[in-house]
Each structure stands twice: as structure tokens, then as C-alpha cells.
Amino acid sequence: MLNSPPQRSAALLAILTVTLCPALWATETKLGDELYFSGHATLGALYTETKDAQFYRNLNQRNADFDQLTLESDSRLGLRLSYRPHKMIGGEVQLITRYGLSNNFETNLFAASARIRPGNGWQLGVGILPLESFYRSDSIHVGYSYLWARPPVEMYNFNIANNFEGISLQKRFFWGTQSLSGKLYGGVLGRQYSTHPNDQYDGSHSPLMGLTLEYTGEHLALSYGWVEFDMADEALLTTKNNAFLAPPEGGDAALLQLLFDSLVDNTDISYQYLGFAYEQGPWRLEGAAAETDSGLRVFQDTYNGYLSLGYRLDNWTPFAMVSYAHNNPPHSLRGNLPAFIEGVILEGVKAAQAEQTNLALGVRLDLSATLSLKLQFNHIEEAHSDSYLWINESPDWNGTANQFSLVMDAIF
């Protein structure tokens, strides 16, 4: 944990140093006979041109600065250690260091799993596994793997989980240059998580299950995914100094739990998406559409999508992207709830509203086979001044903002 600005700067400097040494790298380094080390690093500078609202990249990261440059939102470092003692058996551990809710750089275990590949296209995974509910962003932290400075926030910043504890079973069929794969997975969220610096939830017993179908052809890839979370055993561990969830004066823990239970009306949240990628010559077109069906009163059903077009000119790939997120109107409040709970829910619904359009223009420059530089401009228009995608909005904010990003991505 880095507790002071000098420590944070030192961490950033370390990332920068690693990032700028591509000559030392291969895409994967052999440490022993069967032990391999690899990783990714991103140094990102982001300037959000508004004084009226603070931007955050995702729910696990709510730091933002008013109208000034930040190196914290997009910078991160990921490490991966894999062990392949046999052609059929392997294991891996992944760590990710990024700026988090504590307003510091935090290192978390992202994946730790064993894989068995008995052949005939079968693969079994057990352990902490990446959550594949987000098309082409199952490696969402690996900036080098996509064109943009950051994946569209309208599509990807709603998720509270990138991984889970459980098991996955995959079968792949292939003919010619085409393949079709199906994956079933299930388990539990398996950890505590936060959606705000002052709140912490226990999701260690929250089950989830999902399905991913992927078709890959020579030029076209299609992907469909569905995942459902059951938040039946979710428990609010802490809430403090939070106007949204704080009970009225004189409120006690039981009242607080009643409040939380009221927010979680129906405990299921399901998410499904359909995505595609088409690559022909220098052209690269991809997009996805998704729907979140929420049983939580404060998080309404959400629809999001994006479309991205890139054209490769030698090492340069200019691109344009448009992304969108929209909430349904709030559900009516059901049951006889105390007035203060209704008020809190309505406040929560209001804070979670989003109808946002984001236009991005940028260019990716591949400096080498392991290092890329990206420049990106975003113009964002948000219909609700009090939005889920922004915090600390001024009442005078007109809902528009421009962003400028300069990102260096590397793999090693």
C-alpha cells in the first residue's frame, strides 16, 4: 500500500521505467524449465476538461480531479506467472496493481487457477478465474490488447467483478480456419468488494453462473455471453460518512440492514452481451451491445453498447468509437417501506441514472512489437446531471465534458 504522494510518484516512476525499457523484453520470459513470467504495464495521462464533475474509470476506482491532469486513473501494472509442467496441465497466477478506492495504488490477486487440457478441445479451469462477461475485455486491464486508451466506460465501468472463485468447462470445435467454443462456468464472487470508498460488501457467498459462446473465423469473430449473480447472502459490512447509505439520526445496525435489504429487492442481477469483431486487411470494426437486468432497486436495468472502427496504416492505427449507456426509468417502490428508506432509494436511483453518449477519436502507434503509444480525445454528453458515471457534479454542470488521453502500453 502506498500511503503518500512521494510513494505514489515512485510507483508511477517504476511503471514508467519498466514501460520505457521494451528492448529488454520478450512477450513471455522463461524463468525455469516450465515456469514463465509475463506482464503488462500502462502509463496513462488523462485530462478531463470540466470543473463541474469528476470522472471515474470504474466502480473500483473513484478518484478523479477537477480540470487537471491525472496519471492515476489509467496507470497500472499486471504480472502473470504461469507453470506448465505438462502439455495437458498448467497453472497461473495474475496480480494487478492499480489506483483504487483507497486513493492509493493497490495490488490485488486477479487470477490463480489450474487448467487441465485433456485434448479434443476440452479445457477445465479451477480456482480464481477471470470473469468473461465482457466481450474483448476479459483482459480489460491489458491495454496493449485493444486499440483505445481505455475501453468504453459506458460499457465496462458498471461491473463490480472481473473474476470469481469457481470452475469453468470449455469445449472447442474447429473446422478449417473457423472455430466455435462454448464455456460454462459457475462459482461464487468470493470476496469483499466496494462501490464507494466508504462502503464494503461481503460477496464471498454470492453465487454466480454463466455461459460464453464464441465463433472465430478468418475475418469475423462473434461472442455471446450471459452471467447471473445471486446476491442472496450479500451483507453490508461497513458504511460510514456516506450520505447515500447513512441511516437517520438515532438509526442502529438493524435499521441499516433493513435499509440494505430494502435496496436489494430481488437478489438476481443478470447480464448478457453480444459482440463482434471484423478484420479485413487494414480495417478493424468491432462492437457490442449489452443488457443488465437488475433486481436491485438502486441499480436499474441498463443498456449499453459501443462501435469502434480502426484503419491500420503501417504502425499507425487511427480509430473512432462511439459508446452509449442508458438506464430504464426507476421501478416503482414495492412494499411498505419506511419513508426514510424510500427517500434513500430514490436518492440512490437518481445517483445511478445514466444516459450518456461518448464519442472518441484517437490513434494508436505501435512503437515495437511490445510497446504502443495512444492518443485519444473523448467528447462526452450526459443527459442527467446527477449521474452514475460521474461524481461530485455541480448543479450547474451541463452534462458535457472533453477528455484528452495519452497512454503508453507495454507487454513483457
Where on the chain is the footprint of another protein (CB under 8 A)?
26-30, 36, 38, 40, 78, 80, 82, 84, 87-88, 90, 92, 94, 111, 113, 115, 117, 119-121, 123, 125, 129-130, 132, 136, 138-139, 141-142, 144-146, 170, 172, 174, 176-177, 179, 216, 312, 315, 366, 368-370, 372, 411
Query: What does the alpha-carbon distance between residue 117 and residue 129 come to, in Å, rounded to a whole number?
Result: 16
| Phi and psi, residue 48, nearest 5° | -105, 120
Paired strand residues for 377: 361, 404
> Please, which residues have CB within 8 angstroms of residue 120's CB and are 6 or more apart in sequence?
none
Query: What does the alpha-carbon distance between residue 276 and residue 288 come to, in Å, rounded to a whole number?
Result: 6
Kindly tell me which of 129 and 341 has the beta carbon lying closer to another protein. Answer: 129
Q: What is the dihedral of CA 408, 66, 155, 199, to 10 degrees?
A: 110
- β-strands 268-280, 283-294: how paired? antiparallel
* Torsion sign, CA atoms 73, 10, 1, 98: positive
Query: What does the alpha-carbon distance between residue 267 and residue 206 come to, in Å, rounded to a whole number?
Result: 10
Q: How far is the CB of 179 from another protein (least distance, A)?
A: 5
The closest alpha carbon to 156, from 324, 407, 297, 403, belongs to 324
Q: How far is the CB of 27 from another protein (least distance, A)?
A: 5
The closest alpha carbon to 57, from 36, 41, 71, 78, belongs to 71
Q: What is the largest CA-CA distance in the chain?
A: 69
Q: How far is the CB of 301 from another protein (least distance, A)?
A: 27
Kindly tell me which of 6 and 119 has the beta carbon lying closer to another protein. Answer: 119
Q: How far is the CB of 135 from another protein (least distance, A)?
A: 11
Q: How far is the CB of 359 from another protein (least distance, A)?
A: 24
Q: How far is the CB of 137 from another protein (least distance, A)?
A: 9
Kindly tell me which of 297 and 364 has the beta carbon lying closer to another protein. Answer: 364
| Phi and psi, residue 241, nearest 5° | 55, 35
Q: How far is the CB of 98 from another protein (least distance, A)?
A: 14
CB 378 within 8 A of CB 357: no
In the block, residue with C-alpha cell 450479500 = 234
Query: What does the alpha-carbon distance between residue 201 and residue 178 come to, in Å, rounded to a whole number?
Result: 43
Kindly tell me which of 58 and 294 has the beta carbon lying closer to another protein. Answer: 58
Kindly tell me which of 19 and 372 has the beta carbon lying closer to another protein. Answer: 372
Kindly tell me which of 90 and 305 has the beta carbon lying closer to another protein. Answer: 90
Kindly tell me which of 163 and 206 has the beta carbon lying closer to another protein. Answer: 163
Q: How far is the CB of 170 from another protein (least distance, A)?
A: 8
Grid cell, residue 134, equals: 465482457
Q: How far is the CB of 51 from another protein (least distance, A)?
A: 37
Kindly tell me which of 145 and 198 has the beta carbon lying closer to another protein. Answer: 145
Kindly tell me which of 28 and 347 has the beta carbon lying closer to another protein. Answer: 28
Alpha carbon 390 to its chain's center? 16
The closest alpha carbon to 297, from 256, 236, 352, belongs to 352
